[in-house]
Amino acid sequence: MAADWSSLPIDLLSAIALELETVEGLIYFSAVCRSWNHASSSIKHLWEGDSVPWLLLAEKNKENPDCIRKIFNLDNNKCYKLNLPETFGARCWGSPYGCIAMVGRDLNVQLFNPITKVKLQFPSCETVPHPPEYFDGIRHGEDYYQWCLRDFVNKLIVIKVSQDDDHEFVIAILYDCHDLAFARHGDQSWASVLTPKDGGEAVVDLVTVNNCVLGLCVDGAILFWKANELLGRELVKPMKFSPSNLENFDWDLGIQLRYFVHSGSDFLMVIRYKCIELNSNRNDYDCDTVFQTCQFEVYKLKGEIWEETEDIGSEALFVGCNQSMSVSVTVTMSECLQPNCIYFTNDRTCCWNLMTELGGYDMGVYDIKSGEICRFYEGDDTHSSFCPPIWFAPDFRK
């Protein structure tokens, strides 16, 4: 007689679900039947399996009436198709909290979980602290929206503020000349965090740790403040820490992008160098040159100095159009994820408006020790003029 797997005791099903090692496995488990879904739902908050970041690929603008977006899973080199009309026409940034931050064509900002479809609404980009004439002077139809999506907003960063046993999500927005503002779910406008007085104090990336927010400046200095200060509406004045060896850096050397990563107990400054590369062997573009990532440098904060390192241990870093993330490569991940490497996607927006050099062409995995770069995805659906592939950590719990 065939076994009735749906009638297994809920306690046994819950125990089995807790032993699953990947998000994918738990999603498949929950889809078996109603009782299995109930069991997985009851233990979601307790599950502590490994979560390898997923890659949300670029949207297809043509012949896609069902609004299908593909997600690439490094864990098994497979792509999944999801119906995600919410993301179409929007520019997106990934986060480690299961959600992606989006700026839509209406210029409103949302947090959106592509798996559970949960959404949180944030204010419009047009309410950021700028003189009114700043936006009014450049309104000219389609170009205006393209400018807002691609050039005005540099990065959206999700901040998780914990209070007692609850938490609240705050979005920080880096915009235009790396000015910084923030907003909570339900706010009507963005509030200033920092207005740089000179180029050296411009913030390029943020990390959160122990309910504190730390910002990496253009010159390698660090600004920091308490995350719960962002729950108010008053201007937040951060404290500043300047490592003593900042004068040793040549910040004007070539094309640089900088990232700030909290990795284990370490703070890392990652510098990405791009070079101009002749395009004679690239059949998919008809322009003469492309900007290609050629090198990364990684610096670890050691006391009062930035110290260059070629060894970040078992960590793998994920940078690009996402919140910079670090993942510890466990035994179960070792077949799909390389430690001491940087997985990168294209986030140099100034080239995305070139018809032949769309965002998404410059992505790969960089071995920090050897300096070698190889591809991790071979598909042809990575190019976009406003939203190339992004990394996000999947989460079906919220």
pTM beyond cutoff 0.95:
no
Give the pLDDT confidence score for residue 358 in this predicted structure: 60
CA distance 356 to 347: 16
Write down the mean pLDDT value for the chain: 80
N-terminal to C-terminal alpha carbon distance within the chain: 39
Give the alpha-carbon dihedral of 25, 26, 30, 32, to 10 degrees: 20
Neighbours of 343 (CB within 10 A): 23
Q: How far apart are CA 111 and CA 324, in angstroms?
A: 17
Question: What mean pLDDT do residues 352-358 have?
Answer: 54
pLDDT at position 9 over 80 = no
**pLDDT tens profile 225-252:** 888 777 776 667 788 888 988 888 877 6
Residues 6 or more apart in contact with residue 242 via CB below 8 angstroms: 220, 221, 222
CA distance 85 to 296: 35
Task: Tell me the per-residue pLDDT of 91-114, one tens digit each, with 9 for 90 and over.
Answer: 899 999 989 999 988 888 999 999
**With contact defined as beta carbons under 8 Å apart, do 285 and 356 qualify?**
yes
The answer on pLDDT for 178 being more than 80 is no
Which range has highest mean pLDDT (4-13, 198-207, 267-276)?
A: 267-276
- Cα–Cα distance measured from residue 74 to residue 50, given in angstroms and rounded to the nearest whole number: 12
- pLDDT surpasses 70 at 387: yes
**pLDDT band for position 297 (cuts 50, 70, 90):** very high
- The yes-or-no verdict on residue 282 having pLDDT over 70 is no
pLDDT band, residue 48 (cuts 50/70/90)? low
* Mean predicted confidence (pLDDT) in 363-386: 86
Q: Is the pLDDT of residue 22 over 80?
A: no
Judge whether residue 355 has pLDDT over 50: no
Q: Tell me, what's the pLDDT at 357?
A: 53
pLDDT-derived band at 34, boundaries 50, 70, 90 = confident
Distances in Å between the Cα of 391 and the Cα atoms of 20, 175, 205, 278, 324 are: 23, 20, 16, 28, 9
The continuous run of DSSP H or E covering 46 comes out as none
pLDDT band at residue 50 under the 50/70/90 scheme: low
Question: Mind giving me the DSSP string for 293-314?
Answer: EEEEEEEEEETTEEEEES--TT
Distances (CA, A) of 285 to 22, 167, 273, 277: 38, 46, 22, 12
Q: Measure the CA–CA gap between 395 and 381, rounded to whole angstroms.
A: 24
* Residue 368: partners with Cβ closer than 8 Å, 6 or more residues away: 296, 298, 309, 310, 311, 312, 340, 341, 342
For residue 366 the two structure tokens come to 């960089």
Instruction: Give the count of beta carbons closer than 10 Å to the beta carbon of residue 280.
Output: 8
Give the integer Cα–Cα distance in Å for 292 and 12: 52
- Per-residue pLDDT band at 309 (split at 50, 70, 90): very high
Per-residue pLDDT at 353 exceeds 60: no
Distance CA 328, CA 247 (A): 32
pLDDT at position 102? 93
Distance CA 174, CA 103 (A): 13
